[in-house]
Structure 1
Amino acid sequence: MSAAGAPDPNPGLPVQRVALLGAESSGKSTLAEALAAHYKTVWVPEYLREFVDTHARVPFESDQYPIARTQLAREDALAGQARRFLFCDTTPLMTALYSRQYWGRVDPQLARLDSRHDYAWTFVTAPDSPWEPDGLQRESEEVRQEVHRMLVETLVARGIPYVLLEGDLPYRVRQVEALLGQP
């Protein structure tokens, strides 16, 4: 049985972790939640959002590694509840990218976590929806576009295959379904 209570159509097969990456205000969280519902599985929310809410501030450079480590720990904890796919709203790759954006460097421990980008699929959400401010977490449309550019360049440089998801939420879900198959 799956965590959702339905028989698992692929018993014994390992859960595939799916990375959802993208700049701020590009729809990662909304997409992760929608895909988890569509595939009747669980998703890993972005820990950074919780960190900012809990601490009422943006992270310091010294917070970056613990944030990425917590994100991965939550992935590991939820993997046992997942059915077929585990949708991960961000990965240490994004944490490292933001470290480069804001501090011009990446902590060596964070770099080691970032280098383990071990996901069955990597999807990048295009910054093609209107930018919306979100308290402390979002900076500007200009930063969003710059981070998107840096992300795509990083994936290409590292040889990480990815699929760019564009359009509204239903269209993005259909794009993913075309690759991952029916629920």
Structure 2
Amino acid sequence: MKAPLLRVAILGAESSGKSTLAAALAERLGTVWVPEYLREFVETHGRVPVAQDQFLIASTQVAREREAGASAHGVLICDTTPLMTVLYSRHYFGGEDAPLAALAASTQYDLTLVTAPDTPWVADGLQRESEAVRQLIYRQLLDELAARRIPHHILQGSLQQRLAHTMPLLEALPASV
């Protein structure tokens, strides 16, 4: 019988190193990671999403997590979750619709990591707005995690420092890799 798959969520504001950390963790653990679908959406459509796109973005992210789970080896690294889509929906559109809220509430992870916005902010064209927005979203994320009582660990510093902080957390999980 195959051991249950551990799912690790990496959350954080724009340009805080989520994707870099996800790729490095997956490589170190010999598993796969699920890239942030929002990035692909923006590149494919050549525009930022509108309110009506939010559920599609979050549900596609979750569907890709399910698909990637078949290729994962003990742990699946998820570069963002529907919760981040909820936060950005609130910021840009004044709230989230019921299907998005339900999806965020029903999607669970075994470990939640939050990348602190302590790396240089880098503009990337359409998707990223500003350092001020990055700091605001980070604070809102921490507030939301507290309100939902989601245990999380804040990762700061260089990629190597973040990896060094994360590995013991992974090893402490039941049936860990």
Secondary structure in 1 aligned to 2:38? helix
> Within 5 Å, which residues of 2 pair with 1:9-20?
12-20=2-10
Match of 2:122 among 122, 132, 136: 132
TM-score between both structures, scaled by the size of structure 2 = 0.95
Task: Provide the secondary structure at the position in 1 that maps to 2:8.
Answer: strand
Paired residue type of 2:49: P
Pairing partner for 1:66 from 39, 44, 56? 56
Superposition pairs of residues 102-181 of structure 1, within 5 angstroms? 102-181=92-171
Moved over 2 A (4+): none
Identical-pair percentage: 57
The CA RMSD over aligned residues, in Å, is 1.1
Alpha-carbon distance between aligned partners in 2 of 1:54 and 1:103, rounded to the nearest angstrom: 21
How does 1:12-91 map onto structure 2 within 5 Å? 12-91=2-81
Cα distance, 1:13 vs structure 2: 1.1
Deviation at 1:104, TM superposition (A): 1.0
Distance 1:24 1:116 in 2: 24
Give the deviation of 1:117 after TM superposition: 3.4
1:100 aligns to 2:83 (yes or no): no
Shift of the alpha carbon at 1:179? 1.1
1:22-65 superposed Cα distances (whole Å, 9 cap, x missing partner): 00000000000000000000000000000000000000100000
The residue identity in structure 1 corresponding to 2:94 is: G
TM-score (norm 1): 0.92
Q: Structure 1: 5+ residue runs without aligned partners?
A: 1-10
Q: Secondary structure at the match of 2:126?
A: coil
1:116 deviates by: 1.4
Q: CA deviation at 1:178?
A: 1.5
Query: Match of 1:59, as an amino acid?
Result: P
Opposite residue 140 of structure 2, the aligned amino acid is M
Paired residues, number: 173
**Residue 77 of structure 1: CA displacement?**
0.2
Using the alignment, how far apart are the partners of 2:121 and 2:156 within structure 1?
14
Tell me which amino acid in the other structure corresponds to 2:20. Answer: T
Per-residue CA deviations over 1:121-173 (Å, capped at 9, x if unaligned) read 00000000111101101000000000000000000011000000000001101
